[in-house]
């Protein structure tokens, strides 16, 4: 598709995030299984449920915009997940691995926050009020997850990994 308008750019970016969220739903169970800190494991399990909701919310956005083709491969998320897997393999003990899991997860969260933040702005500019509402809800949840991961890192994991 030729991207020659803000509307088309927004749709392409929505497709990118849709694939990213689906990739995350596959990665999170593995991350939860690897996590040794119970709070971190629970955070990943909780975020998996939330991420499934993000996928559904994006499907609502596509419906609102009357977009049926959602196929696009998110290479950025593929790279972030692959990098996280490599970091986990390099960690030689459980606490260092948990710290690596957190940094990998926060990179993913920051990627998503950048995408959702931009899309909220596009949707506002294009006067898609319902889309703004749906995307802002997901952006808020991504920010909350990022904060929770920081708290787990600072209060437990990094202290023990030190």
Q: Which domain holds residue 12?
A: 6-161
Rounded Cα–Cα distance for residues 149 and 64 (Å):
32
In a domain, 30, yes or no: yes
In a domain, 144, yes or no: yes
Kind and range of the H or E element at 50? helix 38-65
In a domain, 1, yes or no: no
Query: What distance lies between CA 143 and its chain's CA centroid?
Result: 10
For residue range 73-128, what is the model confidence (pLDDT) as tens digits? 999 999 999 999 998 889 888 999 999 999 999 999 999 999 999 999 999 999 99
In a domain, 53, yes or no: yes
CATH number at residue 73: 1.20.1260.10
- Number of structural domains (the chain) is 1
pTM: 0.94
Phi then psi dihedrals of residue 156, to 5 deg = -130, -65
């Amino acid at each position: 598709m030729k991207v020659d308008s803000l509307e088309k750019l927004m749709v392409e970016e929505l497709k990118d995030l849709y694939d990213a969220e689906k990739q995350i739903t596959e990665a999170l169970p593995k991350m939860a299984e690897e996590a040794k800190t119970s709070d971190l494991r629970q955070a990943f399990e909780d975020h998996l449920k939330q991420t499934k909701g993000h996928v559904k919310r994006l499907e609502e956005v596509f419906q609102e915009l009357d977009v049926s083709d959602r196929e696009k491969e998110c290479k950025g998320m593929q790279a972030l997940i692959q990098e996280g897997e490599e970091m986990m393999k390099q960690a030689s003990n459980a606490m260092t691995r948990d710290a690596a899991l957190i940094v990998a997860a926060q990179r993913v969260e920051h990627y998503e926050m950048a995408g959702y933040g931009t899309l909220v702005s596009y949707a506002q500019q294009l006067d898609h009020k319902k889309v703004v509402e749906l995307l802002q809800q997901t952006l808020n949840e991504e920010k909350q997850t990022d904060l929770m991961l920081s708290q787990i890192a600072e209060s437990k994991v990094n202290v023990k990994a030190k």
